[in-house]
Structure 1
């Protein structure tokens, strides 16, 4: 029996990784620029609401950015584990002239389980981007007007559909109801070009897996000059008939994902450059809860919060009210966290 150890990077490691690889540094400067722009502004409910809304979306967005690279790293590590497993089996296999081998194992299943989370995360990153930018630029979208002969029921449905479209990157890229005209022409051009050249293709694979049938069929060890584990993606992700899917282009999923996430990164950073955002390094643990400002509303015993960071967990609990009515911080203590490695055993 041999053992394959895979050490996954924890999500909080990605602040350092992003800094080392210079990933999304301009996007990371968006919040500080937003805060600077509000300095000196008279704080009224309108500005406070906009600030908290931006903070919520920005914090959520950074979490999904880290998550996308986290899933990609897991796929890379699992691919190595699969190949290590195959190499252990190889001396016992009598090959003929096979150029590829259908390969399945528990580790392969672990690999396949990460495909949809990655695609869904990229889907979210696309959709939320224009929301974040619109709040930053203080763009307010007006509901479509009601036509003279349009019933109230039909109009309410139209308004609901319009508001839902504001959460969809595809709606901006296709200029649904002229929503893209609210943005500077340079941003509009970048959005349309990214969508036509790359963005919609990535989305097609997510939609195919989500709404039609599994992408996880063509899984092989290919025996070429370099042996490799691969998951092939179909050439025609718009196809609704499973029997008509083709794989002539040998599009390897993880290679496609790496290329697409780099293109998305460059697209986002180009928008940040246009709107004048300076790069800012990522800070570990900088993504605080968007509800943290509401801590004063809790009473003693109402709330405990736990942050698990690498091998330690920090516990925070709410104490007695201070004289000004805000909740006091009670205990801050550390406990051990032993789960930091996932292992697969090969028998």
Structure 2
């Protein structure tokens, strides 16, 4: 498979196949890939001969490890407009997937983080495999769980959405299915058979959604017990607190070893990101999809104008010392006004949908 093209498209047997083709970069999403996929998805939406869409990542390691945040980091340091263009066009693609009137099958077998979640979770079918690892780790790089996290995270069972948002917790196949981030589980060694079986579908025999449901039913199995299911009651109790500080206090007071592990993870994240993300999900439960994406664009531009994103990427991806120096460095030092600034309208710069 050629690595010269970052994203590949093919139509076979009434299915539009998309392959994210940057395996050495864990299929991280570039602005060029976003633009090509947006154009192709729009064309397939209008093409009556295309009955469904299937998307996968090249190689065995990742579906998509996220957006190319290193490129955004470099652009921000230069004052390049990529810091606006990337988020605007990515969020429009997320919405295109959300409103697509055809089955959209994302094979999330491998690392699926951040932007990769945005390319999958809004589609009708999200098929996990043995290698699936799903996470929204943005608070650890001084950002926030975007690509529609405002919308889908508050709608997960109980307080799981806030738990995932504040911890960047990594979901295995069973956890992804339990949370609803994945809709089905197909063992990795059967993924090729699943894709090949699309050729057997008679699109004139039933509605496309019904046919795709039946196809996946033939290959899916039980991924086993979810660890998060065992901790759901504890998560619901602790993450129902009314502030990040109160959540940490509840975790500490529980006397539970697993809760102590969770609290330690939260304490490593950007304090500003934690506070903004808490407010984001509180607001998100009341927003429709378009409102959520408009809010996220406002948030993205506030973070691009701040400090923690640049420090988080420096610590994780550039210098790789894993010792970010957040500003402010404590939750108690994050002003309420700073949090609210992330949600202010941008006027003519606000996100719109063409």
TM-score, normalised relative to structure 1: 0.25
Greater relative contact order structure (CA < 8 Å, 6+ sep): 1
TM-score, normalised relative to structure 2: 0.24
Structure (1 or 2) with the larger CA radius of gyration? 1
**Between structures 1 and 2, the one with greater strand share:** 1
